[in-house]
Each structure stands twice: as C-alpha cells, then as structure tokens.
Structure 1
C-alpha cells in the first residue's frame, strides 16, 4: 500500500467563529478528498488575524501533506489570507496579468465597471502557482513548501466547489501517488453504542490494520462505519464486504440497513413491496412522524394521511378513543395509544397505522408519569403492538427519538406481517 496522504482543511473568517454562517465547505471538501484517496486528519477554523493564520499554516504543515485553505480572499481590508501567505512564503504581492485579464472579462461580461479593489484581487504572491477562477473574482493559489502542498480557495461555496472539481482535485491526483479510501456502513437501531461495542468487541479486535471502525450514534441509531485504505479498489471493496458479512450474524436483530439507507427509505421499500399503506395518529410528536414518512419523493404510493390529535376531544371524535379509557388511564397510557393506532387504521383505511402519545416536556410531567414518558403503538391487520419509552426532559430530542422508535416499530411490524 502507498503511503497515506493526509490533509488538513483550514477555514478563515470571523463570521465562522461568531456562528454567523455555517461551515458547509469543510464537509464537502473532506468528502471529495476521500473520493480521490486523501485522508482528512483535521479541520481548523481561524479568524481574520494574520498572525493566527500564519500559525495555523505552520501547525497544519506539520500534520499533513495537503493543506486546503478557504476564505479571506475578498477585496476588503478584513481579507488577509494573501498577506499571510506572503509572509509565510517570503513573497510579495504582484499583479498577475492572467488573473487580471480573467477578472476584467468577468466584469465586462456583466456590464459592470471595475474598481481599484477589484483590480487588486489580481495581486497574488509572486511565488504561487495561479489557479484560474472562472466562476468569480478571487483567484485560487497553489504553493509548495517542504513537501507540503498549500491550496488557497475562495470561501464562496459554488466558487470553491468549481475550483476544487476542475482544478485542484486533478492536480492533486497528478502530484501524489494516492491510495483508495472506501467506506461501508452498517445501520443499527434499538441498541446503545456501548452495548453494541460489547457485542462486537471480538470482531472489532480482529479487523485488519487497513480497516478502521467508527461508531456514529444519532437519536436511537448507531451507524457502524468501516473505512478501508488500499491500492486496489476491487480488492478493498471485497474485504469490506467480507467484514460486513462477519459482523451481520452477531447483530442481525438490530440492523435495519446499510450505507445510505435511512429508516424512512427502508420502510418505503417494505410498504411498496407489500403494496401496503400506512397512516399516523400523533399527539406528542405533532406530525413529525408523518413528516419523516413523506420526506421521500413518491410517498403518496404508501402514505394515506395523518391525524394530529393533541386534545382528548380529538382523540375521541376523530380516532374513536373511549372516554372511559382516557378517564381511567389518561392520555399517556398503553390503552390510549393502542386505541389511537387502531382508530387511525380504521379512519384512514390503511394496512398499518402508528400512534404516539407522551409528555415531550420540558414540563407537564408527574411523579407517576415524568417528562419523557411516551407510549407508541403500531396497528396491523392482525394485532396491535405497543412500546413504552422513557426518554429525557428535552422536548426536541424527545420528539426526534419518539419518531425514530415509532418508525422502527412499524418496520418490524411490516417484516413480521410479511413472514406470516
């Protein structure tokens, strides 16, 4: 296997540190670098301070063979990236005639007059390799020092992406002998990260050195991501699939999909395969379950509708929940959620129906039913299954977690119905 080429991504701008904009560039760049076999080992954000930027250049050059820098290339005084590069590489700014020609044509095409600030965007460190920007006015720059490549790109996402795709990635592939980096993911639900780690400990310990495992938990799910590095894509893909085959029997009951599968898409495929339909009766989730089910194009093939029954009156009038049930057991109870699911299936005329009722918080709980107490149910043609959840006291998390567990209850019910 070839030596691993590492990259660090450096974003520049006070607006990122102040939280005024979301840094989407780093995620995209990291994905693109992985695609050509370069492993991103760190991302760093620095404000518009020349000394801090230079220090970041120095530190990054110690960790990586490729440093991708975005931002700070505009025409105003707060954009200091070019000056930091000049000091770091011992160079001076000089008008690059090719850059000036391209910038002049950019403004002429749009019928706009150039200012002196626009002209100065063509001033580049005299020892950089000019990278033409066909999509904006801030040129890209390529430097090399002590075996490390430094690339400076504009922070505007569509300009940065175009420069990366058509200029930088091809040059990096020519500059370095690169490995292949591939990912395979196993998507699990219904088991916590630590319990999952215990179950697969022996398998994880036996992984070969060139395959690494990461645990990525998210609202009731844990994604196991295998990352392999090698010099042959076909061989590496086979090796990753072999590892998936080895771990599958150990945790099969918790696996709902692989790679890009989402719970919603897996459920959609199951419903379509059965030519079945689903509806929802939601209280504490306020329509979030139905939102997730309808987030996919073509969901009208299997999703019939929803009843968001927050009040007891609507539970009774629209879903047929018994007043006696509500009086004796309360809205947050197994008996109520069961009648909600069955009522929704009846009212909406669906194959399946899922229901949610609970105390999302942050208040409204009691000693008997504290905040985070949630009941979910799934009604099928043959039975109604229920589940009690004991969640946290954070409303947004409780809604997200409830929707995930409710969808998983539906998924399992569909699979069971298909096996009868």
Structure 2
C-alpha cells in the first residue's frame, strides 16, 4: 500500500508558508505501515489540481489532499474535485448549522454570505465533520483508492486526520507489507566519518533493509527502514544491524529512538534529578528556547539570563569588570564566569554560557565574525571552548546552540 500527499497553495510555492502538514501526515501514516512515496505541492489552479489527482490516483492507494477548502474565491478545490470525479456539490444542512453556530458563538453576529459555501460538499463523498473549524473534510473511495480532502489549517487538518481519517485507514486499509523504521541519533561525528566507520555493516544489509543518513548541524540521525510481510522477523533483523552500529559508534550515540537531542537532554537530566540554567549572549535565549520547547522541561530547567551587554553580564551574573576589560566579552574567561554565575543565581547543577560574534558585523582581526566562546559549568569543573564558525548569523547561532548542548551532554556523561 502506498500513499501520496498533495498540498495546495501558492503560499507554499513562493516560500511564504512552510509546509508542515505533509511531515505530520507522513509520520502518522507511517505508524499505520502506510508509507508515503510522493509529496506534491501545487498552485491554486484547477488544471494543477486535476493533474496532481490524476498522477496520484495512478500510483498511490491513499491520497491525502490539503488546502483550498475555505470560503474565498481562490479556494477552488471543491469545485475542481467535483469536476474530476464527475459529480456535483450539494449543501449539507448539518455542516451549515455548525458553521452558523461558530459565528454566533465567536463573533456574536450573523455568518457572512460567502461562508454558506463551506457547507457544500461532494455528492459522492462521506463528510468528515470538522468540530474545530468551519471547513468540513470529505472522503471518496473509487476503484479501491481512498481520497481524503482536508482543510490546510494545521490544527483543523490534524483533528480530521486523528478523528476521522486515521481510524478508518486503521480498520479498513490493512497492508500486507509492513514498513518498520528504527533510529539512532549521533552527535559530534560528521556524516562522512560516520559512513566510513560503519561501511561494512551497511554493505551487509539485506535488500529489504535500507539505511538513510539524516544530517543536521552537529548531529546525524540514522534511519533503518525494513519492508516485509513478517513484522516480528523484520523488527528482529533490522534491530540486529542497528545494534551493530550502536556498538561501533557508541561514543557518539545519544539516542536509539526517534527523539530529538533536546528531548534526550531533558529526559536524561530529569531522570538523574539534575537541573540546568543558561547564560546567553550571542544566542539570545535560543538554547533555553530549545530546551523549554520540550514537554516536561520544567522538571530540570530553572531559568535563563539573556545578558547581551557587558553591563548586564556584570549586574546579573557578577562577571568581573576586570575580566571584561582585559579579555573582552567574547572570551573563555568571560563565559566561564557567566556559567558559574548562572549556576549560582539559579541554584542549578549545570549551566551553559555563550558569548560570540554572530555577525554580520562586529568582527575584528583577532576575533572575526563566527568567533564563539562557550562554557559549561558542572558539578566538579567548568569547561570552556572557542569555536570559529564563519557562517552567516542564523547558522552561527544554530551552531552555537548545538555546540553548547553537546558540551553539556559530554560533561553530564562524564560526571553522572
């Protein structure tokens, strides 16, 4: 069984909006062993919609289309899809009453005339009632193929997928071929060096197991994907190869499941009963934002000091004026005092401090743009390191965040 996702909207093609719907849908279809083989983004044009549907119907069993179900003139999906299936649009009184009630409840006034059309659905479709929005979803089955047409608003799409589409697929569209994914997250080793170290293991993989390298700044996630009819055997064989890789590069392995680095740090620190704080200059709170984006971070994260100016470094963290005058804000001596100051102020077991020249300006001959100093204060020592990233501002900040978290992870493993 194969799936295809089609997203509609000129805003997706011109970069105004990032398509997060496809990744979310693909992840949840994968959990049902329905792999996505194509993801297509198309414009709000009738010919583009019809062409995409025709191609998807020829090569996929499950087609999920999102977008273009709103009340405005550019939302032409329903009329185009009705033409594609050779059917008409009919008004659904239940949906109409629901849309009217939303306007009365939220706006306290009558519904605009243009919203009446949101109650029009394909005559040959099953209505996917949208409890959380005004645009209903629709499902059509033809020739053994399943089509779902969903609104593009992410929270509405997710509601309809979780409560309407996925339960139906789970019960009805059972695949005789299982897809099993297993993951390893490594930190501190580059993609090419990692590939060299495990080349013989990769060469020994059977044809039904593939290995994908998913690099990000400072880390590489490995994904083993196995396909077969016996899920138990598939899981066992895939994990045996995964374990060989874990043993080979164990010094760099952070996680053996599909968690982010930040999730691993939060959960590991919480389990160990240790706490963290940050003192950030060039990262401007980016490290603390990454940490606190993880549910449960409050169990281990105590607080952050964004000390951008020298005065703030002195006032909040008690960094010595002499240190700043002699070594400068971007120095290992300064970040050492920042990290130790954060530990003291927030009463934590660990602290990360950053100070650097993110760019594009501010660099000097001795400290060019991309120069970043990081310190991690732990239970028994404070470690410092200077990096020379030499990228643009956004990348320099991202590299600093990952480097700081990696230094924390390495110290935590040593001390704990």
TM range (shorter): 0.7 to 0.9
Aligned to 1:25: 21
1:151 and 2:143 are equivalent in the alignment:
no
**Equivalent residues in 2 for 1:17-416, closer than 5 Å:** 17-74=13-70, 77-89=73-85, 91-93=86-88, 95=90, 100-106=92-98, 118=116, 121-122=119-120, 124=122, 128-133=124-129, 135=131, 136=134, 138=136, 140-145=138-143, 148-172=145-169, 173-175=171-173, 177-296=175-294, 299-316=297-314, 318-416=316-414
Tell me how far 1:248 sits from its aligned partner. Answer: 0.7
Unmatched tracts of structure 2, length 5 or more: 105-109
Q: Contact 2:71–2:114 (CA<8 Å) still a contact in 1? A: no
Distance in 2 of aligned mates of 1:346 and 1:158: 42
Distance in 1 of aligned mates of 2:81 and 2:330: 62
Distance in 2 of aligned mates of 1:158 and 1:304: 31
Distance in 2 of aligned mates of 1:303 and 1:108: 45
Distance in 2 of aligned mates of 1:158 and 1:279: 32
Tell me how far 1:151 sits from its aligned partner. Answer: 3.5
Aligned to 1:8: 4
Q: Contact 1:72–1:155 (CA<8 Å) still a contact in 2? A: yes
Distance in 2 of aligned mates of 1:33 and 1:177: 12
Q: Contact 1:270–1:414 (CA<8 Å) still a contact in 2? A: no
Distance in 1 of aligned mates of 2:137 and 2:297: 45
Tell me how far 1:196 sits from its aligned partner. Answer: 1.8
Distance in 1 of aligned mates of 2:301 and 2:98: 49
Secondary structure (helix, strand or coil) at the match of 2:140 reads strand
Render the CA deviation track for 1:304-340: whole Å, top value 9, x for unaligned.
4444333334445554545554444332223333333
CA distance change for structure 1 residues 362 and 296 in 2, over 3 Å: closer, same or farther?
same
Number of residue equivalences: 407
Q: Contact 2:121–2:127 (CA<8 Å) still a contact in 1? A: no
Secondary structure (helix, strand or coil) at the match of 1:365 reads coil
Q: Contact 1:281–1:344 (CA<8 Å) still a contact in 2? A: yes
Distance in 2 of aligned mates of 1:408 and 1:134: 43
Unmatched tracts of structure 1, length 5 or more: none
CA distance change for structure 1 residues 339 and 151 in 2, over 3 Å: closer, same or farther?
closer
Q: Using the TM superposition, name which of 400-409 and 136-145 deviates more.
A: 136-145
Distance in 2 of aligned mates of 1:76 and 1:318: 52
Cα-Cα RMSD? 3.3
Q: Contact 1:377–1:406 (CA<8 Å) still a contact in 2? A: yes
Distance in 2 of aligned mates of 1:298 and 1:120: 39
